Copies of this chain bind each other. A is one copy, B any other.
Amino acid sequence: MLRTNLNRTLIRSIQRFTSSLPSYQTLKLTYPQPHVVLVELNRPTKLNAINKHLFDDLKTCFEHLNTERTCRAIVLTGAGRTFTTGIDLKYLSTFATGDVAQIDDIARKALHLRRFIHETQASFRAIDKCEKPIIAAVYGHCLGAAIDLLSCCDIRYSSRETIFSIKEVDMGIAADISTLQILPKMITNHSLFRELVYTARAFKIDEAQQLGLISQVFDTREAVIDAAICLASTIASKSPVAVQGSKINLNYARDHTIEENFNFACTWNSSMLLSEDIVKNVLASTEKNSRDSSNK
């Protein structure tokens, strides 16, 4: 595994970083490489099904990583034999028996439920709003809310045997925590996408690639995680101001007109170009270029 390539100094700094990370009940966080945080969904005996705890942990975790200065790139994956089978049905069934069920009037029930859904959405919104690049490494089963999770990541790698399904319609639900909200902005084949949404049928890696859901495929779980860490490590070696600035501008562009994108980029770079780093980079490149061209 890639981790063996690290020398001792790195290993120590990684261990120090890792020990400073907050701990979560349903997530496992480590630094496999400097500045790279590996986030693992950690309910392997439940096939990483997403319950209230996991929703809360994801929110807290990604809000923390967003401001944690030692974190420059994130790999999101699962622990155990599958990425995640989606929302935990026990959690969902609390609708039928919990607080909401006690309210008589439908309108008040709906108003209450709206605030509850808003909270659930807030969890995945925190992932989408995290300004550090996130690489998803998926394998095994990738069902229901798992597709919502993928929608919140920048780059998506998968193992060859992964089974996907947008299964909300089979539960009688219109997906409300990213699949129908974010994914349409980055999907490639809308005709295929709508077929998968309306039928909830399983699909494999070839259709996942045709959709633009997955950009690279690997043979095993280990291979896909290693490749994701390796890519994260490359990204972490770049100027964090440039990488995060690029992500902030790309996320902005999903929702704005071209005119607004230019206006935002202009305002953004009016402070960012004052960085000493750029001056150094540019001057260094200029010198290198003049040396290079004098050799030609």
Minimum distance in angstroms from A162 CB to a CB of chain B: 14
CA distance A212 to B192 in the complex (A): 9
Interface assignment of A13: CB less than 8 Å from any CB of chain B: no
One digit per residue, 1 when the CB lies within 8 angstroms of any chain B CB and 0 when it does not, for chain A 45-62 equals 000000000000000000
CA distance A188 to B273 in the complex (A): 30
Known A258-B181, A282-B96; contact A277-B172, beta-carbon cutoff 8 A: yes
One digit per residue, 1 when the CB lies within 8 angstroms of any chain B CB and 0 when it does not, for chain A 241-275 equals 11111111110011111110110111111111111
CB < 8 Å neighbour of A282 from B171, B188, B194, B238: B171
CA distance A286 to B51 in the complex (A): 13
Q: Quick check: B286 and A89 within 8 Å, CB to CB?
A: yes
Q: Quick check: B115 and A172 within 8 Å, CB to CB?
A: no
Minimum distance in angstroms from A291 CB to a CB of chain B: 13
CA distance A264 to B184 in the complex (A): 15
Known A154-B194, A176-B269; contact A242-B185, beta-carbon cutoff 8 A: no
Segment of A4-12, A25-33, A35-43, A104-112 engaged in the interface with chain B: A104-112
Q: Oligomeric state, in number of copies?
A: 6
Q: What chain B residues lie within 8 Å of A89 (beta carbons)? A: 282, 285-286, 289
Q: Quick check: A235 and B199 within 8 Å, CB to CB?
A: yes
Q: What chain B residues lie within 8 Å of A192 (beta carbons)? A: 155, 215-216
Minimum distance in angstroms from A116 CB to a CB of chain B: 8
Count of residues in A whose CB is under 8 Å from the partner chain: 109
Interface centre among A172, A184, A254 (most CB of B within 10 A): A172
Q: What chain B residues lie within 8 Å of A274 (beta carbons)? A: 106-107, 109-110, 113, 271
CA distance A92 to B279 in the complex (A): 8
From residue 116 to 143 of chain A, which have CB atoms closer than 8 A to chain B? Answer: 117-118, 121, 125, 128, 133
Q: What chain B residues lie within 8 Å of A173 (beta carbons)? A: 242, 245, 269, 272-273, 278
Query: Which A residues have a C-beta under 8 Å from some C-beta of B?
Result: 66-67, 73, 89-90, 92-93, 95-96, 104-111, 113-115, 117-118, 121, 125, 128, 133, 154-156, 168-177, 180-182, 184-186, 188-192, 194-195, 197-201, 212-216, 231, 234-235, 238-250, 253-259, 261-262, 264-279, 281-283, 285-286, 289
Can you list 7 pairs linking A and B with CB atoms under 8 Å apart? A173-B242, A174-B245, A176-B262, A182-B261, A191-B215, A192-B215, A197-B250
What 3 A-B pairs come out closest when comparing CB atoms?
A271-B271, A107-B275, A174-B245
